[in-house]
Amino acid sequence: MISLRMRNLALVLLLGACSAGPYCDRESAEAALAAAASGETVELGACEVQGPLHVPPGVTLAGTAGSVVVAPVESGAIIALGGPAETVVRDLDVRVEGRIGILARGGGAVRVAGVAIDARRGIALGASELDDLILDDVSMTGEIHADNATDPRWVRVAGAPAEPGACPDPSDCDCAPGDRDDAAGEVCDASGHWATWTATFGLVLGGVASATLTDVEVDGFGRWGVLSTDSDVRWDRGGVRDVLGIGVRQVGGSLDLTDVHAQATHAGLRGDSPYAIQVTDGGRFTATRLTLSDNDRYGLLVHRATGRLDDVLGERNGDAALWLSETDDFEVAGTATRLADNAFAGAVVVRSSGVRVADGAIEATAEQERAVGTIGVLRVGDGLHVTAATGAVEVADLRVRDNARAGLVIDLGATGAGAVRFDGVEVSGTGTQLGAIAGRPAGAGQLAVTTVDAWDDGITRSGDVTANDASFGGTVAAVTEALPGIVVTPGDVLGVVAPMF
């Protein structure tokens, strides 16, 4: 029988042998990490190492050229525990074949730098209840791209098998939740239907007091690119692209973007309406030089949240580039602001107050029929569309040109008094285009065009719109509901990695 003393001696010898590194097998890497003190570094070799690897507080896990950590099925690649000193993961690649690439948790600070995550399943990177998260030069890439976004296999997707259980509706079940078909690359989801097993979320943040992202790219995920709940995020350079769903979802907390893009969110065949960015639930959103472009449907939705945009570029979106609803504090400004070549509307402001739209240009909006809330289908093609204002809305120093239906459509309210004020606004157009028209509510989805003395003080018309506005009457389709559709609550996304908690 081997004595306890001999076992302890063997462990000491093993750890002593591992301390030299670099490591190319999980057992020795895990042993070296477990033995490392705060401030020490454990290095991986130019090889593939199976996870999960656990990085203690204050320890650095470093790679060399060719280092890859693999998240196996039903597990993760790297679990980093924050501490008083930074816990660091740097200079390596991660391949996710299981639930998550990197999971950072436990309070304190975690830094991830020079890391590329190839997410084939699950979540690329998640952080929960941290004081500080620093991501620097990090890429997260899933399987979706422009050429395959309409593939039928993405209609139903799952990042991991559901918890085993009985089918909730035996009359409508293809499988038992929790089942897997590895050959087909499918898992049975909680509803009892087969789903493509793929990467569903890029970056997931929950309760992170301060997240600082620099040069972070999130591309190709099957549900949402970035989900931030009750977290304060600052993101400089980088962005999201080719997400089948929502690019960035901010729930509460704050999100500050500089030189970030949210592009090419795809509708696919699901029938859902994708958004480049959604900010809700009291979140604070600020952005400088944000690009919202080439999204199948909406650009930015701000609902019951506040913020400011400076020099935003919103172009070639299939729906409104900006949709502001039930906010009481939001400003769009900057001489480089340009909303162009969007469908339905450049910007919609509905049931809001304390809103200012100024300085830039809104132009070349195309007419488009869209279903809006419970109203039904509306055909709209306006530059700026303001309805049901609950307080002051200011439009100033804005150039509105060549929008298919109208440059400005303004709801004057039931009394016709209105709450929208203009200063230095120029509207122009050709042919049958309208410049600036106003009306009173005339039922769901309608405004009855009317004239009220001085409602358009501060607006200058030029081109064909001058005569068109003067002779126009009747009713026009108008957005009278706060939201274009359902805003999905995120739920416990990190619950998919619950076995690792």
Instruction: Please confirm whether the linkage preceding 52 is cis (ω < 30° from 0).
Output: yes
**Rounded CA gap, 479 and 274, in Å?**
19
In angstroms, the CA 67 to CA 454 distance is 69
Q: Do the beta carbons of residue 29 and residue 50 sit within 8 Å?
A: no
Contact assessment for residue 436 and residue 469, using Cβ atoms and an 8 Å cutoff: yes
| Residue 417, amino acid | A
Confidence of residue 15 (pLDDT cuts 50, 70, 90): very low
Output the average pLDDT for the chain.
93
CA-based diameter of the chain, in Å? 102
The predicted model scores a pTM of 0.93
Query: 3-class SS at 431?
Result: coil
Type of residue numbered 365: T
What local confidence, expressed as pLDDT, does residue 34 receive? 97
Beta-carbon count within 10 A of 289 CB? 18
Question: Residue 100 and residue 60: Cα distance in Å, rounded?
Answer: 19
Gap between the Cα atoms of 190 and 187, Å rounded: 10
User: Crossing angle, helix 26-35 and helix 4-18, to 10 degrees?
Assistant: 100
- Angle, alpha carbons 338-339-340 (nearest 5°): 105
Max mean pLDDT range (204-208, 375-379, 447-451, 479-483): 204-208
Other Cβ atoms closer than 10 A to 431: 10
CB 361 within 8 A of CB 334: no
Residue 416: per-residue pLDDT:
67
Residue 245 clears pLDDT 50, i.e. is over it: yes
Has residue 461 got a pLDDT over 70?
yes
Chain segment 31-90, per-residue pLDDT in tens: 999 999 999 999 999 999 999 999 999 999 999 999 999 999 989 999 999 989 999 999
Show the tokens assigned to 109.
């600070």
User: Residue 38 to residues 81, 86, 102, 490: CA-CA distances in angstroms?
Assistant: 11, 9, 19, 35
Give the separation between CA 23 and CA 28, rounded to whole angstroms.
7
Among 15-29, 65-79, 296-310, 409-423, the minimum mean pLDDT is found in: 15-29
Q: Which tokens hold the place of 338?
A: 């340009």
- Tokens 């690359």 map to which residue? 185
Q: Say yes or no to pLDDT of 19 above 60.
A: no
Q: What is the pLDDT of residues 124-177, one digit of tens each?
A: 999 999 999 999 999 999 999 999 999 999 999 999 988 898 988 988 999 999
Q: What is the DSSP string of 151-218?
A: -GGGSSEESSPPPS---S-GGG-SS-TT-EETTTTEEE-TTS-EEEE-EEEEEEEES-SEEEEEEEEE
Q: Exposed, middle or buried: residue 262 (CB in 10 Å: 0-12, 13-18, 19+)?
A: buried
- Pair 266, 289: CB distance under 8 Å: no
Q: Which of 152, 114, 105 is nearest to 133 (CA)?
A: 105
Tens digits of per-residue pLDDT, 262-288?
Answer: 999 999 999 888 999 999 999 999 999
Whether residue 6 has pLDDT greater than 60: no
Q: In this structure, are residues 192 and 172 in contact, taking their beta carbons and an 8 Å threshold?
A: yes
Asked if residue 266 lies in contact with residue 149, where contact means CB atoms within 8 angstroms, the answer is yes
The pLDDT-based confidence of 368 (bands split at 50, 70, 90) is very high
How far is 411 from 434, CA to CA, in rounded Å?
A: 15
* pLDDT tens track for 110-119: 999 999 999 9
19 C-beta neighbours (distance < 10 Å), count: 15
pLDDT at position 346: 98
Mean pLDDT of 453-465: 95
| 443 and 470 Cβ atoms separated by less than 8 Å | no
CA 136, 138, 141 angle in degrees (round to 5)? 165
Among 418, 405, 262, CA closest to 346: 405
Residue type, 500: M
C-alpha to C-alpha distances, 451 to 249, 390, 435, 439, 440, nearest whole angstrom: 40, 20, 14, 7, 10
3-class state of residue 50 by DSSP: strand
- Lookup: tokens for 73: 């099925």
How far apart are alpha carbons 456 and 451 in whole angstroms? Answer: 9
- pLDDT for position 10: 42
Confidence of residue 396 (pLDDT cuts 50, 70, 90): very high
> Given this model, what pLDDT does residue 320 score?
97
CA distance to 206, 458, 469, 470, per residue, from 436 (Å)? 44, 11, 7, 10
